[in-house]
Copies of this chain bind each other. A is one copy, B any other.
Amino acid sequence: VSSPTDPSQRAAQESQREDDVLERIASILARDHIRGGEVHIGDDAAVLLPTVGETLISTDVCVAGVHLDTTLFPIEDLGYKAVVTAFSDIAAMGGRALACVVGVIAPSGGDLDALHHGMAEASQFVNAPIVGGDVTRGRDFAVAVTVLGECAGRGAVLRSGARPGDTLMVTGPLGRAAAGLRRRREGTPLNDELVTAHRRPWPCLAEGVAARDAGAHAMMDLSDGLGIDVHRMADASGVGFALTDIPVAHGATWDEAVSGGEDYELLIATDQPDRLRMIYQDRGLDPLFEIGRVVAQPSLRTLSGSPFVRRGFEHRF
């Protein structure tokens, strides 16, 4: 817990507001079962059992007004999406989700309960507890979620391992999240299927583990859209690519599929596409989409033979 230096906040206070708030939040995040020997929310740090294999850790920050239009979506969506976005990075390594901690900035009077309900929902869906957190004041709602995962056995799948000749695959059709956002802007209700795809993305954890088990060479999640993320994989691997086809989700436009982002499907490079497909089928996972090949020449980046330039979201500072 950290302590502000704003003098107006420093005076001795009669009430115990922060501890009260933290207690209520802890009850929202509480789980029925905590593994023996573990200590979750309430101490200086959470205590977890030793990791069995490589430890994975990743952090993601989501800000209201930047990552979520709060005039269109309830604040619990920010919490839900922040947690899923973060666990998607564990999925992208082929890891198992272990736990997460959540740092929250909240404006005065903001609905902390709703935000934490959204985070708790996502944490329950991915079956990884929220074991700690921090709450502080600020002008805008923001959430920083840090996730822990582990890779037993074979190592984590990096984005730098793509090799010439590898087949490039994605775990699902693209553009659903962007299409859902567009529909919501047009006034479509929150429970519309595509709007729900935007509000309640799913991290491809089982798909990531399966790809690792199948010996995939490289993997990453498509958080910023294929139009930029496939370039990032190529950059990291020192290769190029020749795309043949991009699977556009039903109801989405081609542009939404390429540069919409927030789909959290996985991009996989493998020299054993048939093995990968078989393992997905055996495990009851949705079929993969083949989108092209890895080529040796790093500057060669094409779709159907034409140059495929970077396009997608990047922050500007």
**Bound CA–CA A62/B139 (angstroms):** 13
CB atoms of A55 and B47 under 8 A apart: yes
With contacts A9-B316, A12-B311 known, is A60 near B103, CB below 8 A? yes
Q: Does A117 contact B (CB under 8 A)?
A: no
Partner of A18, one of B95, B134, B146, B316: B316
* A111, closest chain B residue (CB): B317
- Pick from A119-127, A219-227, A240-248, A268-276 the stretch touching chain B: A219-227
Q: Does A133 contact B (CB under 8 A)?
A: yes
A149 contacts across to B, CB distance below 8 A: 45
**Bound CA–CA A133/B69 (angstroms):** 24
- Chain A 275-294 residues near chain B, CB threshold 8 A: none
Partner of A317, one of B56, B93, B110: B110
Q: Which A residues are closer than 8 A to B by beta carbons?
A: 1-7, 9-10, 12-13, 15-19, 21, 37, 39, 42-63, 65-69, 81-82, 85, 88-90, 92-93, 95, 99, 101-106, 108-110, 112, 131-140, 142, 144, 146-151, 155-156, 158-160, 181, 185, 198, 220-221, 223-225, 227, 232, 236, 259-262, 310-317
CB atoms of B39 and A158 under 8 A apart: yes
**Bound CA–CA A4/B133 (angstroms):** 23
Partner of A1, one of B7, B223, B311: B223
**Bound CA–CA A124/B138 (angstroms):** 29
With contacts A137-B63, A317-B106 known, is A54 near B50, CB below 8 A? yes
* A99, closest chain B residue (CB): B57
**Bound CA–CA A4/B43 (angstroms):** 33
Name the distance in Å between A220's Cβ and chain B's nearest Cβ: 5
Enumerate 19 A-B pairs (CB-CB under 8 Å) in ascending A order. Answer: A2-B62, A2-B85, A5-B69, A7-B185, A44-B89, A44-B92, A45-B93, A46-B57, A48-B55, A48-B56, A50-B54, A59-B102, A61-B105, A103-B144, A105-B142, A108-B316, A137-B315, A137-B317, A138-B140
CB atoms of A3 and B313 under 8 A apart: yes
A5 contacts across to B, CB distance below 8 A: 66-69, 181, 198, 262
CB atoms of B45 and A95 under 8 A apart: yes
**Bound CA–CA A85/B135 (angstroms):** 14
A82 contacts across to B, CB distance below 8 A: 2
CB atoms of B44 and A58 under 8 A apart: yes
Partner of A61, one of B2, B10, B42: B2
Given A2-B262, A17-B314, 5 more A-B residue pairs with CB atoms under 8 Å apart are A5-B66, A12-B227, A61-B136, A103-B103, A105-B105
Name the distance in Å between A26's Cβ and chain B's nearest Cβ: 12
With contacts A3-B67, A63-B136, A66-B138 known, is A159 near B315, CB below 8 A? no
Partner of A132, one of B15, B43, B59, B95: B59
